[in-house]
Structure 1
Amino acid sequence: MHASAARFAERVSEEYGFEADIEEFPDGTKTAADAAEAVGCSVSQIVKSIVLVADGEVIVVLTAGDNRVDTDALASELGVGSVRTGNPEEVKAATGWSIGGVPPFGHESDVATYLDESLLDRDRIWAAAGTPDAVFALSPDRLRSIADPEPTTAFE
């Protein structure tokens, strides 16, 4: 197992008592479509952990693989002036993970997290496990209980 995936598994086991069953795919799961194809699910069952910066504060939006965050709508919803995509350094510093491998929880720092509630309509969902090549499955209820996200409707 890749060192970052192993670090994720250890962290979430220790912090949340969650035993992530991590699957690694040598061809990668860099996009939601790649991940869905690799695990044999629909793109809507893939959790994208989108790291954004809202007026200087790093936040994470957990969205279904077939949705896109509407940053203008999110800024309005959060009552901030602007929301932009985090750069690689901001992503790594706030979450401890690199772009493409950011899991929905188990971050380096406490980051405000928001949830696309369409993920709750699924029986099983899949998320990144610390690398662009590793994913794990969980139930939407488990995601909500561990990540403790605020709901958002800011999607295109």
Structure 2
Amino acid sequence: MKQYEEKLRDFIEHNCIEAQQLLFNVSCHSVREAASAVGALPEDFVKNICMIDERNNLIVAIVKGEDRASTSRVGKVLNIGTLRIATETEVLEKTGYPCGGVPSFGYDAVFIIDSKVMEKEVVFTGGGSPNSLVKISTKELQRVNNALILRVRK
């Protein structure tokens, strides 16, 4: 898993992203585990819901940790017919990171940040592996991804 953490650290440094990568000896796979590891509240976390459209493109809906993304809402706002949740294999292939550690940036995708996420100043997201996180401002997250801000939560 170290190679994924290093890959993300290099991406952050090379692209001058204002973010802090945090490494742990415990799992941060779930929002509950991540909140415990970093000593923050569950509402301080985002998760990245990876979806595939009919042309095999990756779309990432970034929602707060307690929320769920709606494939139908994402499809509607992007004017796309059919969307499905990516498999673990597709997530690794398309993002370059394993499930449970996927960051909210650093790979080619259409990024949509749920409007509720932008109510937070700073959030935690996947840090490249299930044992790492990234702390980043929501404004920086939007900038890095050139992300759309739309309601995509259920």
Tell me if both proteins adopt one fold, taking TM over 0.5 as the criterion: yes
Shift of residue 81 of structure 1?
2.0
Give CA deviations for 1:100-131 in whole Å, capped at 9, x if unaligned: 11111111xx2111111212211221111110
In the alignment, structure 1 residue 147 sits paired with structure 2 residue 145: yes
Structure 2: runs of 5 or more not aligned = none
Partners of 2:136 and 2:41 lie apart in 1 by 15
Partner of 1:39: 38
Counterparts of 2:50 and 2:117, CA distance in 1: 17
> Which consecutive unaligned segments of at least 5 residues does structure 1 have?
none
Residues 1-156 of structure 1 mapped to structure 2, 5 A cutoff: 2-14=2-14, 16-18=15-17, 20-55=19-54, 56-107=56-107, 110-156=108-154
CA RMSD of aligned residues (A): 1.7
- 2:18–2:136: 8 Å Cα contact kept in structure 1? no
- Three-state SS of the structure 1 residue aligned to 2:152 is coil
Letter in 1 for 2:10: E
Q: Which secondary structure does the structure 2 equivalent of 1:51 belong to? A: strand
Question: TM-score, structure 1 length as denominator?
Answer: 0.89
Q: In the alignment, is the contact (CA less than 8 A) between 2:59 and 2:109 conserved in 1?
A: yes
Relative to 1, partners in 2 of residues 1:24 and 1:33: Cα closer, same or farther, differing over 3 Å?
Answer: same
Number of matched pairs:
153
CA distance in 2 between counterparts of 1:138 and 1:120 reads 12
How far apart are the structure 2 equivalents of 1:76 and 1:18? 31
